Amino acid sequence: MAKITYITKAGEEIQLEASSGSLMELAVKHKVAGIDGDCGGVCSCATCHVHVAPEFYQKLEAPTEIESDMLEFDDNVTEYSRLCCQIPISEAIDGITVNVAN
């Protein structure tokens, strides 16, 4: 089980727990504002853009070229930007905080 904190654009903090799926799926299930996940997680829509807390960013597997290329064209991109459909939930990310980008 991993604890995950989403912080929306409006500053609302949402704490959730899960053991499988992706950060996008969990957010959509709980209607986290700003994470739409339109394409269901195949890296085609960039509607699940988050900024990962720096201390956790390095722990994640590096983004693929396809994900990086998607992010290149999105708004509010920082060095900690990720599409959260590409972040699987596991014990390894327990305690992670992500800020919704858009």
Partner 1 sequence: MSASNFSDAFKDTREAKGTCPFNDQNDPVTMLLRFKDVRKTAHNTKGFSSAAKPGRIVVPSEVNIRDTRQIPFEVDPPEHTEYRALVEDWFKRPLDPDYENKLTQIVEAEIERVLQKGSIEAISELSLPIQSKALTLLLNIPLTEAQTWISWGTHVFRSEDSDLDADKASILYDYIDAEIDKAIAAPDDSLYSVLLNSEYQGRKMTKEEVKGVLILTFAGGRDTVINYLTNTIAYLAEHPEAIEKLNDNPALVNTAIEEFVRYFSPLTHMGRVVKEEKEISGHVAKEDTRVSLCWASANRDESVFENPNEIVLDRKMNPHVAFGFGAHKCLGATHARQLMKVFLRVFTEKVSTIDIIDAAENIEDWGAHKRKVGFNELTIKLNAK
Contact segment (CB under 8 A) with partner 1 among 8-16, 40-48, 52-60, 90-98 equals 40-48
Closest CB 98 distance from partner 1, rounded Å? 21
**Nearest of 88, 99, 76, 92 to residue 25 by alpha carbon:** 88
Contact segment (CB under 8 A) with partner 1 among 12-20, 41-49, 54-62, 87-95 equals 41-49
Q: How far is CA 57 from the centre of its chain?
A: 11
33: three-class secondary structure by DSSP: coil
Check if the beta carbon of residue 102 is closer than 8 Å to that of residue 11.
no
For partner 1, the closer of residues 3 and 30 by Cβ is 30
C-alpha to C-alpha distance for 43 and 32, rounded to whole angstroms: 19
- The single residue listed with the structure tokens 């990310």 is 93
Contact segment (CB under 8 A) with partner 1 among 2-10, 31-39, 55-63, 92-100 equals 31-39
For partner 1, the closer of residues 44 and 90 by Cβ is 44
Interface residues with partner 1 (CB under 8 A)?
A: 36, 38-45, 64, 66, 69-70, 73
